[in-house]
Structure 1
Amino acid sequence: MSSPTTATTPSSPSDARRKLAAPTVAMLPRIADSLSFLYLDIVRILQDDTGVCAEVTSERRGRETVYLPTAALSCVLLGPGTSITARALATLARHGTTVLVTGSGGVRCYAGAQPDSLSTTWLEHQARAWADDTQRLTVATAMYEKRFGKKTVPPGTTLEQLRGMEGQRVKAQYRLLAQQYKIGRFRRAYDRAKWDSQDPVNLALSSANTCLYGIVHAATLALGCSPALGFVHSGNQQAFVYDIADLYKAEHTIPLAFSLHASTNPEAEARRSFRDGLRLFRLLPRIVHDIQELLDPHGDREAPDPEEQLVDLWDPIAGPLPGGANHGAGS
């Protein structure tokens, strides 16, 4: 998941890692409702007589086998370069593990396999709230107040008025950031037909938002919720994903996009910033907690500690690495 270290000499270990595309395994420890995520890339996952394992190959250490704690995993994210056998997939399904096919670092979610044993608790909460107009407005209001503060919505505000209020808040943030970075007037634009002619901020924002949608989609599927049943957005298979992703844009993707206003390759830099800084995986526990709080506001659950060390890395050459750090900058 972390980017290869920049090579200094042809024979350096970091150069060998770059050439071999040495795999990295990132694990997030158990979070709310015993939900654990495992991200894997550039490994072969198979079933042997002992259990499900990941085969990792490197020039220095040869082939190594890392056994996966299938009974403790709720969701496995398969990144690029990963292959999995049918037997291993069947074992994960028997243990109730959701398996998702994602882009590098989880920046996109392409497909998912959910086991029959996956609880419908959160889907039922979501469906009940979505189908009732009063509850739907309550959830939409809670989403707005999560972004802009408690009691910022006057009593009797309609869903249409909420959308208008949100639009004004976001435009105000655009103005402030445009002034901060001295880029003049900014207008949000998303036109696939004129993609290459867009300014760097719009390109970076679209790219960063796509990364955010991927990790929100993964968390949504892991909980068993429907990505299509949105409370503010509607009429799209990703409506609920867009709802939840909006909670974090003002804090993460919008400031990042404006910081890349002078970049010559804003799309790639936005993606790398999320992957290398591990921002997306740090968000996972928060996303899960926020979804649960929105759908069941009276439930008793502990908020994730933002200072807690959430990510540990394992590397076949360097061994254990500390999480929460960018290992893409040379050593």
Structure 2
Amino acid sequence: MTALTATAPDHSGGGRRRLAAPTVAMLPRVVDSLSFLYLDVVRIHQDDTGVCAEITTEQRGRETVYLPTAALACVLLGPGTSITAPALATFARHGTTVLITGMGGVRCYAATVPGTLTTTWLEHQARAWADDTRRLAVATAMYEHRFGPGQTQPDTNLQQLRGLEGQRVKALYQLLARQHRIGRFRRTYDPAAWDTQDPVNLALSAANTCLYGIVHAAIIALGCSPALGFVHSGNQQSFVYDIADLYKAELTIPLAFSLHSATQPEAEARRSFRDNLRLYRLMPRIIDDVQQLLAPGHKAPSSDEVEPDEQLVDLWDPITGPLPGGTNHAPDPTP
């Protein structure tokens, strides 16, 4: 969180505290920012202490809650939310991704991108995505990641992997339905008839959206593009869906079935998912999995591990490779 440092007493004898500008050393790395926060029908603004969410009700009047901005991987802002520019600037400075979502966190309409990102992993992603052979290798690795080691044959093609994945998810639905004694289950997602869906589908949609928010925050923190997917395509969230699918069978699907009798399945799914994030250690896993998928064996520092002063812009050269920016490259004058 933003640190407060005491100043020397003024001449009147009163003590004052000033808001200290956070440094990179003071802020947690993205792998340590494990949580998310969903807000709706609130006003978010910055005051002398920090970023706070303000709500006014007839019963209890005005209430203010301060947000631990540096400890949040992402904030999901639902309908009825307003936010000031200084508050957004604080989120960006702390590396917190802000997502604009629909009711209950379902659907992501827009997201902020902090401006202190390097392009190391974006370049790895773009090269792999633009090369059909490498893109196929990454897509295959994503499917194999879901099955676990040794569960597929080396010569299994992408079409066969898609079929095996469909069978695996269907079998998981059947197994969990039997365990919770809820009869036959069918996955549905219909925004037009949202309130008519059963608790498991409502909880699964809400939990998946929270998962998408965490994955989106991790992808942005690495400087990658959420749009350049390897399995999914044609959507600004394609890469988010690719990575989120690695964890659904382990995290969101069992959680949704456990809430089959919940009276408020969406809210309970978000709350349970958030409470278990530290147990899951999800953010470090996402960072490591993305890096290993895009560049197996390569381990470069992520953008949140590099001091902003060191993030210099290089110049591209087809012969020598990157050249240092901030340098005058004019030839020395002839003596």
Same fold (TM over 0.5): yes
Residue 67 of structure 1: how far off its partner (Å): 11
Q: Distance in 1 between matches of 2:94 and 2:265?
A: 39
Higher relative contact order structure (alpha carbons within 8 Å, sequence separation ≥ 6): 1
Q: Which residue of 1 aligns with 2:46?
A: 45
> Bigger CA drift: 165-174 or 104-113?
104-113
Residue 149 of structure 1: how far off its partner (Å): 1.0
Conservation of the 8 A alpha-carbon contact between 2:34 and 2:277: no
Opposite residue 255 of structure 2, the aligned amino acid is L
Conservation of the 8 A alpha-carbon contact between 1:136 and 1:231: yes
Identity across matched positions, percent: 63
TM-score (norm 1): 0.64
CA displacement 1:174-197 (0-9 Å, x = unmatched): 111111112222221222233333
Report matched runs for 1:1-331 at 5 Å: 29-30=28-29, 44-45=45-46, 54=50, 77-78=74-75, 83-86=83-86, 97=95, 99-101=97-99, 111-278=110-277, 282-300=281-299
Query: What secondary structure sits across from 2:185 in the alignment?
Result: coil
CA displacement 1:105-152 (0-9 Å, x = unmatched): 999865434355421111111111112222112112221222211132
Q: How many residues align?
A: 261
- Name which one, 1 or 2, has greater alpha-carbon Rg: 2
TM-score (norm 2): 0.63
Opposite residue 174 of structure 1, the aligned amino acid is Y
Opposite residue 212 of structure 2, the aligned amino acid is Y
Residue 170 of structure 1: how far off its partner (Å): 0.6
Q: Distance in 1 between matches of 2:263 and 2:69?
A: 41
Structure 2: runs of 5 or more not aligned: 1-25, 55-63, 302-335
Q: Which residue of 2 aligns with 1:309?
A: none
Q: Pick closer, same or farther for the CA change 1:203–1:299 going to 2, 3 Å.
A: same
Structure 1: runs of 5 or more not aligned: 1-26, 303-331
Query: What secondary structure sits across from 2:29 in the alignment?
Result: strand
Q: Pick closer, same or farther for the CA change 1:254–1:101 going to 2, 3 Å.
A: closer
Q: Distance in 2 between matches of 1:158 and 1:201?
A: 33
Residue 273 of structure 1: how far off its partner (Å): 1.3
Q: Distance in 1 between matches of 2:255 and 2:82?
A: 30
Q: Distance in 2 between matches of 1:243 and 1:257?
A: 20
Conservation of the 8 A alpha-carbon contact between 2:291 and 2:299: no
CA displacement 1:77-107 (0-9 Å, x = unmatched): 4565785545x766887x7956534679999
Q: Pick closer, same or farther for the CA change 1:148–1:68 going to 2, 3 Å.
A: closer
> Bigger CA drift: 262-271 or 233-242?
262-271
Conservation of the 8 A alpha-carbon contact between 2:232 and 2:242: yes
Query: What secondary structure sits across from 1:100 in the alignment?
Result: strand
Conservation of the 8 A alpha-carbon contact between 2:105 and 2:209: no
Residue 37 of structure 1: how far off its partner (Å): 7.5
Opposite residue 46 of structure 2, the aligned amino acid is I
Conservation of the 8 A alpha-carbon contact between 2:96 and 2:217: no
Q: Pick closer, same or farther for the CA change 1:207–1:107 going to 2, 3 Å.
A: closer
Pairwise CA RMSD: 4.1
Conservation of the 8 A alpha-carbon contact between 1:102 and 1:214: no
Q: Pick closer, same or farther for the CA change 1:153–1:137 going to 2, 3 Å.
A: farther
Conservation of the 8 A alpha-carbon contact between 1:204 and 1:267: yes
Opposite residue 292 of structure 1, the aligned amino acid is Q
Q: Distance in 1 between matches of 2:108 and 2:279?
A: 13
Conservation of the 8 A alpha-carbon contact between 1:109 and 1:218: no
Query: What secondary structure sits across from 2:230 in the alignment?
Result: coil
Conservation of the 8 A alpha-carbon contact between 1:140 and 1:232: yes
Q: Distance in 2 between matches of 1:179 and 1:38?
A: 32
